[in-house]
Amino acid sequence: MIKKLTAEQRIELVHVSLMRSSEFALFAGLFMVGKTSVVDLPITARTNGRDAQYGREFVNGLSDKELAFLVLHENMHKAYRHLTTWKSLHDIDHNCANHACDYVINIQLVDLDPNEKLIAIPRLDGKVMGLLDPAYRGMDTRQVFDILRKKKKEKGGEEGEEGEDGGDEGGVGGKGKDRQDGDKSGHGGFDEHDWKEAVDGMTEEEKRELADDIDQALRQGGIYAGKVGGKMSREMAEMLTPKVNWREVLRRFIKTSLKDRDSPSWRKAHKNYLWQDIILPSIMGKRIKHLAVGLDTSGSIQGPILDAFLSELNKIIKDVNPDRVDVMYWDTEVAGHETYTGAKGDIVKRTNPVGGGGTDPDCVPVFMKENGIAPDALVILSDGHMHSEPANWVGGKYPVLWCIIGNDSYTPPRGQLVNVKE
Q: Of 162, 177, 201, at which residue does a domain stop?
A: 201
Q: What is the pLDDT of residue 165?
A: 30
Q: How many domains does the chain have?
A: 2
Residue 3 inside a domain? The answer is: no
The pairing of beta strand 290-296 with beta strand 192-193: unpaired
Query: Who contacts 160 (Cβ-Cβ below 8 Å, separation ≥6)?
Result: 92, 93, 94, 95
Please check whether residues 398 and 359 belong to one and the same domain. Answer: yes
Query: Is 9 contained in some domain?
Result: no
The residue segments making up the domain with residue 114 are 33-201
| Residue at 18 is within a domain | no
Residue 242 in this model has a pLDDT that exceeds 60: no
Nearest to 253 by CA among 402, 410, 419, 31: 402
Average pLDDT score over residue span 263-292: 54
Q: Residue 280 domain-assigned?
A: yes
Instruction: Flag whether 193 is in a domain.
Output: yes
Same domain, 229 and 311: yes
The predicted pLDDT at position 60 comes to 95
Q: Are residues 193 and 243 in the same domain?
A: no
Q: Which of 155, 177, 201 is the last residue of a domain?
A: 201
Residue 221 and residue 185 share a domain = no
Tell me the pLDDT band of 200, cut-offs 50, 70 and 90: confident
* Banded model confidence at residue 59, pLDDT cuts 50, 70, 90: very high
Sign of CA dihedral 174, 176, 178, 184: positive
- What stretch of H or E contains 234? helix 234-239
CA pair distance 178, 164, nearest whole angstrom: 9
Residue 147 sits in the same domain as residue 220: no
Q: Both ends of the chain: CA-CA distance in Å?
A: 66
The three-state secondary structure class of 172 is: coil
Kindly report the CATH number assigned to the domain that includes residue 359: 3.40.50
| Whether the Cβ atoms of residue 373 and residue 325 lie closer than 8 Å to each other | no
Q: Does residue 274 share a domain with residue 143? A: no
103 in a structural domain: yes
Give the residue-averaged pLDDT of 218-222: 78
Domain co-membership, 336 together with 385 = yes
Asked whether residue 120 falls in the same domain as residue 73, the answer is yes
Could you give phi then psi for residue 55, rounded to 5 degrees? -75, 130
Is the domain of 197 the same as that of 227?
Answer: no
pLDDT in tens, 130-150: 899 999 998 889 999 999 999
Of the three residues 178, 201, 224, the one that is the final residue of a domain is 201
Residues 234 and 193 in one domain: no
